[in-house]
Structure 1
Amino acid sequence: MTTSDFYSDRANGPIPRTHDVLPKATAEGLFSLFRSKAQAHWLAQHFPEHCVDGNAISGTDQSALWSNVRAVIPELKEDSLFGVREQQSDDVLFDLMEYAAARIAKPVQGRWHEYMKHFELDFAEALGKREFRQEVNQILQRGGTMYELGPGGRIVRIGTTEVQQIIQQMVPASGDATLDGLLQLAKGLYISRKDDDRVLALDKLWDAFERLKTIDVSGNKKQSSNVLLDNITSAEFREVARAEMVALTALGNQFMIRHHETDKHPVPEVAQDYLFARMGSLIVFLLKVSNRLS
């Protein structure tokens, strides 16, 4: 099975990805997807039920599967295992998606066992993982959430559209390993589900900005910044970029991004995407005009 787009996406564009908390319908859809895959033997390769007349896999050992799920994800509300519509927490649902992504394989009918009247099961693991990821991400996308199941089988927070665009563009090739490392670290931390990681990502992004301002003339930040800005051919826009650099430097000093003295203000959680996108946009622009972007 492959997912497809919908009329509303084609007519109106994709649903905005704005929800940090899973809508009820999205949460129920994710759990139903997990349960349906379990019932359709997509987890049978890891939890096999063997034919009594031979050793072939004929289905799923549901008891072993659900015992393992409850042991690995103890916060799971057990009533939901039996069809009671009780909403799980977002963390539990994301754990379930990652649990399945690590173990899932699409069942393929093999030899027909005439005596026991069932097919022996083979498994297409790579295909199953790909199709499961597509289905999970369609549910998350159609629910307008800021999350997706990544190729490595982990749920990541993709942020707003602006953040997504910056993360995709931020592939530094500055020649300065420290600068490039700080930017890669900031990207990796920012897609975390943990708020503390995203706070740290802002810290690393501002550190990268300070590093960028000294990359051309070591030890002289003002002169180095001027050299960096000289890469902008438009004199008028050069002053726009200079003002933005000054503004974001002041913002970093005012809020608890790089400094944590008692007179600094915490960054509101609702402002994290805005700040990451704003600083990221400036850094990407400065890297691009100075030919330091891969």
Structure 2
Amino acid sequence: MQFTGTRDYVAPPELAIAVNAAVTLERPLLVKGEPGTGKTELARQMAAGLGLPIIEWNVKSTTKAQQGLYEYDAVSRLRDSQLGDERVHDVGNYIRKGKLWQAFDAPGKVVLLIDEIDKADIEFPNDLLQELDRMEFHVYETGETIQARHRPVVVITSNNEKELPDAFLRRCFFHYIRFPDAETLKQIVAVHYPGLKPRLLDTALTQFFELREAPGLKKKPSTSEFLDWLKLILAEDLAPEDLQRAPDQILPRLHGALLKNEQDVALFEKLAFMARRQGR
């Protein structure tokens, strides 16, 4: 199996190499990068490109590693025992399979996405070390050991909110998705908006990168936000001339798609005020 990207996903050569290396090594692919650079979508497109089903485990701050294996519903079993339900004699009726179990039990190879692992507690990655390494785990309530029928292709994403343990990192193949340059961004835009006029795209790209590279920006706009901005530009049927800013204007048209907090808006308003003063 070789991944080269898909019709809907532009994979730079270094990203394709990382994906194929992780598949060859049968190691989890740990993908980091700015929010909005396509980490989650990469796993979905990997599944499409490799012709495999995908199982997604979206991690939250309250997620525990055990939930990925299974959960034992002791409360339901107690209630059923009080009601005299015959199901109570089989503890397996109260075991809910987690995403890892589903991936291990799948009839064929699958892509398993563990999305935003850094949202969880710091012990979360450590609690999955053996399961991801050996591709098996023990169910204490039933006494059975669950082994992967086919080793899944594991993709783990992180926004770098927390440092991951060294022992966990050692078991992964790592790739950092760098923010795309202008040419790569043009290729990405061509996938989503194939009929976009070159002059409009060039004007939008120039303004976008000027905004993104402004010093002091708290949250730089991402690829997905640029695509949202282009969608609004097309919906408003704006021409390249409409995107041109007056000398005293710092913020681009429809900037709410690009700037997502008041500090960054205030920063550009301050720059505009300073530009007006200097122009007097």
**TM-score band w.r.t. shorter chain:** under 0.3
Q: Given the two structures, how large is their TM-score scaled by the length of structure 2?
A: 0.27
Q: Given the two structures, how large is their TM-score scaled by the length of structure 1?
A: 0.26
Larger RCO (CA within 8 A; separation ≥ 6): 2
Q: Quick check: which one's strand share is greater?
A: 2
